Chain A
Amino acid sequence: MSARPQFHAGYLWAGRIIMLACLIAVPILYPQKYVVHVLGLAMIFAIAALALQVLLGFAGLLSIGQAAFLGIGAYTSAILTTRYKLPFELAFLAAGLSAGIASLTLVPITRLRGVYLAVATLGFTIIIHLVLLNEEWLTGGSFGILNIPWPSLGPWSLKGETAIYYLCLGVLVVTFVALHRLMPSRFGRALQAIMLEEDAARACGVDLTYYKSQAFVVAAIITGFAGSLFAHHSQYLNPNDFTFWKSIEIVLMVAVGGIGSFAGAVTGAFVVTLLPEFLRAADEYRMVIFGSMLIVFMGLGHRGLAGLFSTFALRVLQRRSLAEHASAHGLTR
């Protein structure tokens, strides 16, 4: 397998700044409530996709259970703010914490290989969904939770689509930066070692169970935060938002965007969340398209959209630098 295309750091940063600028500009240029709402949702799922990328793209662990943590985070935040009138900041933190604690139940299954781990996480997400559905005293069952308040930051209440949009953007940016610091570190290297050669990782002193579990906890906490944002963004929760299909959708986002690329995870989340909006007329075909995309992208080797973009961009840059090189040496016609 070839190594990922390497870009000069300058290009990467330029790309990211441009993306960020676009995202900041959108509510100003297109202030329609609907647009801002949908993009906010895309960013929430982008955060969940980033979390899955840590597991799938760096630790090599296929988790089809992330929706469970989304749900745990969402319901924790919703219950604390509606029933116990706690401030949003606390509820947000509690959402991440509860999802993280819940993920500790998965510690025993981290020693399962590949597909078995995947099916076990699928089982986990089914169990959590059933709990959300059946424990009416806690979650309101199929009636769900209504009138979830707007978030707040200290004295400021973030009322309105635009405010919550920028909150989601902020959390997305912080997560993105944090993960970019995490992966080149000792922890990130340990995860990648586990993904690439487990025995060699052990021989270098890496405790497999400990690091795989940590990866799950990190991913769960981040997804829990996303869940909290989801609750206060939709302002209404229903257990059917957190079925195993949602877990599969998150896998879809990462697979389409590109396994191993954080920018890819964000891209995939945007594509999967926004494509239905563009294909309004062909809404029924949405999942057919996604299913096909998943097959095609897996067939192309898992670089996904990010990989396609990188390969294309590299070629353009190489051609340009070759041309510059040629003209500098007087080789052009």
Chain B
Amino acid sequence: MSGSQLLELLVGGLAIGCIYSLIALGFTMIIRATGVLHFAQGELVMLGAMFGVTAHRLLPSLPLAPLLLTGMVFGGLAAVAIELGVYRTLRVRRIPLMNITIATIGMSILLQNTGQLVWGSEPIAYPKLFASTAYSLGPARIAPQLVWIIGMGVVVMLLLQLFLAFTRTGRAMQAAAQRPDTAQLMGINLTRITAYTYAIAGALGGGAGVLLGSLFYASFNMGFLPAIKAFVAATLGGLGSIGGAMFGGIIFGVIETFAAVWISTSYKDAVGMVMLILILLVWPEGLVGLIRKRR
């Protein structure tokens, strides 16, 4: 394989990796805050993509950035609605964790099929938001789309890091995730923090949806499989770790892209699943855990 091909594949892997990272961050934040594996995370991705494309239909002149924002806002709103309407009710009734997890499977089914009712079964193409001419980096030709996706993804992740580190709410979320009891004693309102957590997870998912849609297309069932892969990525990086989710997503995207070329395209999805099982068996702490142990 030539150097330029390698570079093109790498950029492709990074782009899809950024998308996985955003979704993985959503998983990680919810698991840190509530211990629940949110099976409906993929549907938040789908909702973001759908609202993004709907926004484009209403205002065809909108470029990528406002569409991304639309997806994030509606993803976040949807997530908060689900959390306040459904999940909180379940938690208040002290339903065991396994049941809540199964309930999120139900939510996933519900949202997917509601999406199908609202937007139909046919995939919806995203508009052409990017220039068609590829950038040239030496002999390699890079689609501007990929560069934009990587750029937007990195910006969103940076904003998230800044939010968590420097704002009161962000720090409160960190505290609540690590020591919920102590956080409550310090006056942090756990219910509100959980709502914020879902809002952010939804926004990240929604943003990923717009990016994913612009890369392929939007459809009612677009989110489930990427969400599972994002979960693999989060586990690869180290479940429960924000940095782990980010790096896990990017690394997973690159591995998957290269595996599709070097191993087999038809078994591309299997790569992720095999990785998942291997990681869970051998490295349950993920990469972050390995790094921590070395220290």
Binding site for B on A (CB under 8 A): 60, 62, 64, 108-109, 112, 114-116, 118-120, 122-124, 126-127, 130, 133-134, 248, 251-252, 255, 284-288, 290-295, 298-299, 301-302
Which chain A residues lie closer than 8 Å to B113 at the CB level? 284-288, 291
Min CB distance, A308 to chain B, in Å?
Answer: 16
Does A122 lie within 8 Å of B228, measured CB to CB? Answer: yes
How many pairs, one residue from A and one from B, have CB atoms within 8 Å of each other in the complex? 120
Shortest Cβ-Cβ A-B pairs, 4 listed: A294-B106, A291-B110, A291-B109, A123-B273
Q: Does B137 contact A (CB under 8 A)?
A: no
Cα distance A294–B113 in the bound complex, in angstroms:
14
Does B117 lie within 8 Å of A288, measured CB to CB? Answer: yes
Min CB distance, B46 to chain A, in Å?
Answer: 14
Q: Chain A interface: which of B51-59, B188-196, B274-282?
A: B274-282
Which chain A residues lie closer than 8 Å to B276 at the CB level? 119-120, 123
Extra contacts, 5 of them, besides A119-B228, A123-B228, A299-B95 (Cβ < 8 A), are A123-B232, A124-B277, A248-B109, A288-B117, A298-B103
Does A292 lie within 8 Å of B267, measured CB to CB? Answer: no
Q: Chain A interface: which of B7-15, B86-94, B152-160, B171-179?
A: B86-94
Does B270 lie within 8 Å of A298, measured CB to CB? Answer: no
Chain B residue at smallest Cβ distance from A116: B280
Does A299 lie within 8 Å of B90, measured CB to CB? Answer: yes
Binding site for A on B (CB under 8 A): 37, 86, 89-90, 93, 95-103, 105-114, 116-117, 228, 231-232, 235, 266-267, 269-270, 272-274, 276-277, 280-281, 284
Cα distance A251–B105 in the bound complex, in angstroms:
10
B97, B99, B106: the one within 8 Å of A301 (CB): B99
Min CB distance, A50 to chain B, in Å?
Answer: 18
Cα distance A6–B16 in the bound complex, in angstroms:
54
Does B90 lie within 8 Å of A298, measured CB to CB? Answer: yes
A115, A284, A294, A298: the one within 8 Å of B117 (CB): A284
Which chain A residues lie closer than 8 Å to B231 at the CB level? 119
Q: A120-B280, A127-B274, A134-B266 are in contact. Are A292 and B110 (CB under 8 A)?
A: yes
Which chain A residues lie closer than 8 Å to B117 at the CB level? 284-285, 288
Which chain A residues lie closer than 8 Å to B108 at the CB level? 291
Min CB distance, B241 to chain A, in Å?
Answer: 16
Interface centre among A109, A133, A285, A292 (most CB of B within 10 A): A292
Query: Could you list 18 examples of A-B contacts with CB < 8 Å?
Result: A62-B98, A108-B281, A114-B98, A118-B101, A119-B231, A126-B270, A127-B270, A248-B105, A252-B106, A287-B109, A290-B109, A291-B108, A293-B106, A295-B106, A298-B100, A298-B106, A299-B90, A301-B93
